[in-house]
Chain A
Amino acid sequence: MKSPIRLERRLKQPRWLNWAIPFISLLGALIVGAVVLLATGKNPLDVYWRILDRGFLSKRSITGTLRTATPLAFTGMCAAAAFRLGVINIGGEGQLYVGAVGAALVGLWLGGSVPVGITIIVMVVAGMLFGAMYASIVGVLRSQFNTNEIITSLMMNYIAGIILNYLIFNSRSYWRDPRSVGFPSGKPLDERAHWPSYELFGFGVSFGFLIAVVAAIVLWIIYKRSRLGFEIGIIADSPRAARYVGIRTKWTIVAVTAMSGALAGIGGASQVGDFAHYLDAKGLQLNNFGYTGIVVAALARLNPLGAILVAVLLGGLTNAGYSLQGPDFPSGLVGTLQGLILFTAVAGEILTKYRLRANRAASKAVTA
């Protein structure tokens, strides 16, 4: 039996579609969500207003949204950077942990002994280096031995989690607070190693988020305007063609994976410097920042600037989701709404490249 509709590749992709489709998708999600909400006896308008209010409208909620968005922006860029090359690095999770370990190490070591600015810069660099080194293991395995990076990067996440547990729970390491008699926890950083936060337009912006914005611009320039970005595009399209024209494919794979890991690493450093102010072995692992970053990258269509926007959107939705929850609003329903929005956003994506056509044999009435 023939399906009444079929997908047909668009010959031209009008630019306006790139903007229209996400909005139509969102609208579709809201309508389907409204049906679900009505079925469970909620007023959809109230619910949507609360999502807007608690995620995006007040100064307090924007401050919170940006805080929640900060790690997602980094892990989103981490995934996007590697995916563009066709390297499916899903190890942002582990690279973020290792970045946090690195930043906490230098943060604790330098503490208040050097001027404030230097400690913070060194923490960022340490997060980058640790994340990059950890990710380059995956990159080297892929480029030298053609190992499947999906599996290796996933496995490296578990290893990083075990390393965190070891440093805080199973050893008296440099990172662990020797005074934590009750529950083992990380050694607190000196106050002078805490990252600053700024008041912009009335809401608080963490230093980490500003770095994320700068990193996104740098990454965008690398991909759009640099030779490396051009080569990455060729490798992604055709690795063999890239090799024939003399592009150092292997080197590029390692370099891009390392760059991707560096981004996640700064995300980890920001968790230590901006928020926790110690190596929070459990908190880091409970939030799934790395895996959510894959969603961010997919929704942003691997565009680093888009990753920032999507991270803010997801950050707001996350906070609003907790705000909705309560005795008369089960967390499952919150997950349903969040899932619907994500699902339609990804599903709508296909319409930018394809159009719906009615199959003539089935019906002539429907045209797209």
Chain B
Amino acid sequence: MNSWSQACDWPGRTEFGGWPHTYYLFNAPAISGEEILNKRLSKKWLPLAATIALGVGLVACGDDNGSSSEDTTAAAEATADTTAPADTTAPTDTAAATESSEAAAPAGDWSANFKPWEEGAAPVACGPKDGGALKAAWVYVGPINDGGWTQTHDEARQKVQEHFGDKIETTYKENVPEGEQVSQVIEDLIADGNTVIFGTSFGFQDAFLAAAEKHPDVCFEFATGYKSAGNLSQFYGAAEDTDYLTGMAAGAASKNGKLGYLASFGIPEVVRGINAWTLGVRAMNPDATVKVVWVNSWFDPPNERKQAEALIAAGVDVLGMKGIDSPATGDAAKAKGIPWAGYNRDNSANYGDVWLTGTQYHWDVYEIPRLQQVLDGAWVAGNYYGNIGDGFVGLSTYGDLVSAETRATIDAKKAELAANPGGEFTGPIKDTAGKEQLAAGKQHTYEELMGMQYLVEGVDGEIPAG
């Protein structure tokens, strides 16, 4: 933590969204070249704003600035090397992934995984009143081209728009910082006539709850939270199942049995991911250990990259991650040429030579039928927890590093988990202290999964403030 550049990478500074948007000046997310070019053109004036706001920081962080533009160039070149442009590849991959999941398991019905907060509650009438288009808005914590979490949400929004055509008018707000600003953004969206609002960052939850209470005629949909209201739904899915499958690919790829894992926060969602991943690793590589580091942020690419480099220096030969929005870990893996299992988004096109696979969310699986319910006047608030079976979570395209034999093993397990979500947590499971957390033959209940606060045997690390 001594160097200047490290000091410049604390979360408060690198997480953008303040005024003005200084983010891009320092941290160029490594994404596809086309996306960068498109964005860059419209952002060429940004340094003006940034120079004023961070005149001093600029001097201190000059090195960062230089290195991130190198990264950008590298990423752009890497994309140029691949035969097809990333933009055309992505939909094909998604289609392929959907096909394979359909082949592996019969596509389940999303509604089986949705439970209203209150049985028989009256639907909320948040549809268009005057026969016009339904206006729906998405609020993002990151930039829409973050190469991960926010980008998958925005891709889902675009699918929603395509699906409904002119029946729905979608919009979004990106780079919205958590805190008071969210309330302002929600109020502004409602003033614009939006009657369905999607929230995609945990820290927005209180603002969404307050807005839901204030605007009973607006439908609120919130990803990854837990608080409820008559017009506030929660949606998320069993990413631990696909994290397990990703772990299998990672375990098979490790030669020395030492793997590294970047985790955001010590919350149950992430802890489930670490545990499932580790169980997957050890299913393929029984004596392997997984060294976990905490980034304490959802989105902090320079810090993610440094942590990943530190893990590589400590001797791990495969990297994985959970709750991390950007592919910066993949950049570190790529620089050192070691396999990387991603998260959030199919990055097989940009990180082809190191890519294994990763958990991928298909938010539209839930969002499209829910918006249809709004149009039909049948929307009630509740909790949704999707899984592989209904296609809400899935595996990204396999990288070349995953052998045909491993793919077959993973696909078989995938079919099994599609039929039995959470099945990877079947006892006996011991924690890092050797204490039995799950008796032989038992499976965790939904509530136990939601509150998971132990790390399984094989993890090298501990939950902060556990």
Q: Are A322 and B184 in contact (CB under 8 A)?
A: yes
Q: Are A275 and B180 in contact (CB under 8 A)?
A: yes
Contact of A162 with B465 at beta-carbon distance under 8 Å, contacts A169-B266, A295-B53, A340-B45 already known: no
- Within 8 Å of chain A (Cβ to Cβ): is B428? no
Q: Nearest B residue to A70 by beta-carbon distance?
A: B180
Bound Cα distance A340, B48 (Å): 7
- Within 8 Å of chain A (Cβ to Cβ): is B338? no
Q: Are B56 and A319 in contact (CB under 8 A)?
A: no
Q: Classify chain A's interface size.
A: 35 or more
Q: Nearest B residue to A90 by beta-carbon distance?
A: B56
Cβ distance B300 to chain A, nearest Cβ, rounded Å: 11
Residues of B within 8 A of A330 (CB): 39, 42
Bound Cα distance A68, B188 (Å): 13
Bound Cα distance A183, B270 (Å): 10
Further contacts, 11 of them, CB under 8 A, given A54-B188, A280-B203, A288-B17: A54-B191, A64-B187, A184-B265, A276-B206, A283-B203, A286-B12, A287-B179, A292-B18, A294-B55, A332-B21, A335-B43
Partner of A291, one of B39, B53, B170: B53
- Within 8 Å of chain A (Cβ to Cβ): is B378? no
Q: Are A271 and B180 in contact (CB under 8 A)?
A: yes
- Within 8 Å of chain A (Cβ to Cβ): is B185? yes
Cβ distance A53 to chain B, nearest Cβ, rounded Å: 10
Q: Are A339 and B12 in contact (CB under 8 A)?
A: no
Cβ distance A281 to chain B, nearest Cβ, rounded Å: 9
Residues of B within 8 A of A275 (CB): 179-180
Bound Cα distance A343, B143 (Å): 24
16 A/B residue pairs, CB under 8 Å, sorted by A: A64-B187, A88-B56, A150-B56, A181-B453, A271-B180, A285-B11, A286-B179, A291-B53, A322-B181, A322-B185, A332-B39, A332-B42, A332-B46, A339-B45, A340-B45, A342-B49
| Chain B binder among A4-12, A152-160, A221-229, A239-247 | A152-160
Q: Are A343 and B464 in contact (CB under 8 A)?
A: no
Q: Are B19 and A169 in contact (CB under 8 A)?
A: no
Q: Which of A113-149 contact B (CB under 8 A)?
A: none
Q: Which of B161-201 contact A (CB under 8 A)?
A: 170-181, 183-185, 187-188, 191-192
Contact of A276 with B179 at beta-carbon distance under 8 Å, contacts A150-B56, A327-B172 already known: yes
Q: Are A161 and B268 in contact (CB under 8 A)?
A: no
- Within 8 Å of chain B (Cβ to Cβ): is A355? no
Q: Are B20 and A338 in contact (CB under 8 A)?
A: yes
- Within 8 Å of chain B (Cβ to Cβ): is A323? yes
- Within 8 Å of chain B (Cβ to Cβ): is A282? yes
- Within 8 Å of chain A (Cβ to Cβ): is B267? yes
Partner of A64, one of B43, B173, B184, B451: B184
Bound Cα distance A258, B43 (Å): 38
Cβ distance A124 to chain B, nearest Cβ, rounded Å: 18
Bound Cα distance A271, B265 (Å): 23
Residues of B within 8 A of A321 (CB): 19
Contact of A292 with B173 at beta-carbon distance under 8 Å, contacts A161-B11, A285-B15, A333-B42 already known: no
Residues of A within 8 A of B122 (CB): none
Q: Are A325 and B173 in contact (CB under 8 A)?
A: yes
Cβ distance B298 to chain A, nearest Cβ, rounded Å: 9
Cβ distance B453 to chain A, nearest Cβ, rounded Å: 8
Q: Are B53 and A68 in contact (CB under 8 A)?
A: no
Cβ distance A104 to chain B, nearest Cβ, rounded Å: 14
Binary flags per residue of A318-362, CB closer than 8 Å to B gives 1, else 0? 110111011100111111101110110010000000000000000
Residues of B within 8 A of A291 (CB): 13, 18, 22, 53-54, 57
Residues of B within 8 A of A289 (CB): 18
- Within 8 Å of chain A (Cβ to Cβ): is B226? yes
Binary flags per residue of A293-336, CB closer than 8 Å to B gives 1, else 0? 01100100000000000000010011101110111001111111
Cβ distance A249 to chain B, nearest Cβ, rounded Å: 23
Partner of A339, one of B42, B46, B54, B206: B46
Bound Cα distance A349, B188 (Å): 33
Q: Classify chain B's interface size.
A: 35 or more
Contact surface of B with A, Cβ cutoff 8 Å: 7, 10-13, 15, 17-22, 24, 39, 42-46, 48-50, 52-57, 60, 141, 143, 170-181, 183-185, 187-188, 191-192, 202-203, 206, 226, 265-269, 296, 450-451, 453, 464-465
Partner of B184, one of A68, A284, A326: A68
- Within 8 Å of chain B (Cβ to Cβ): is A197? no
Q: Nearest B residue to A160 by beta-carbon distance?
A: B12
Q: Are B10 and A158 in contact (CB under 8 A)?
A: yes
Contact of A331 with B181 at beta-carbon distance under 8 Å, contacts A90-B56, A158-B7, A292-B53 already known: no
Bound Cα distance A361, B278 (Å): 76
Bound Cα distance A176, B192 (Å): 37
Q: Are A182 and B268 in contact (CB under 8 A)?
A: yes
Q: Are A280 and B179 in contact (CB under 8 A)?
A: yes
Which 4 residue pairs are nearest across A and B when measured between Cβ atoms? A288-B18, A339-B49, A283-B179, A285-B12
- Within 8 Å of chain B (Cβ to Cβ): is A250? no
Residues of A within 8 A of B206 (CB): 276
Residues of B within 8 A of A165 (CB): 11, 296
Cβ distance B215 to chain A, nearest Cβ, rounded Å: 13
Q: Which of A156-180 contact B (CB under 8 A)?
A: 157-158, 161-162, 165, 169-172, 176
Bound Cα distance A157, B22 (Å): 17
Cβ distance B28 to chain A, nearest Cβ, rounded Å: 13
Residues of A within 8 A of B183 (CB): 67
- Within 8 Å of chain B (Cβ to Cβ): is A36? yes
Residues of A within 8 A of B465 (CB): 169-172, 176, 184
Q: Are B19 and A318 in contact (CB under 8 A)?
A: yes
- Within 8 Å of chain B (Cβ to Cβ): is A363? no
Bound Cα distance A64, B184 (Å): 6
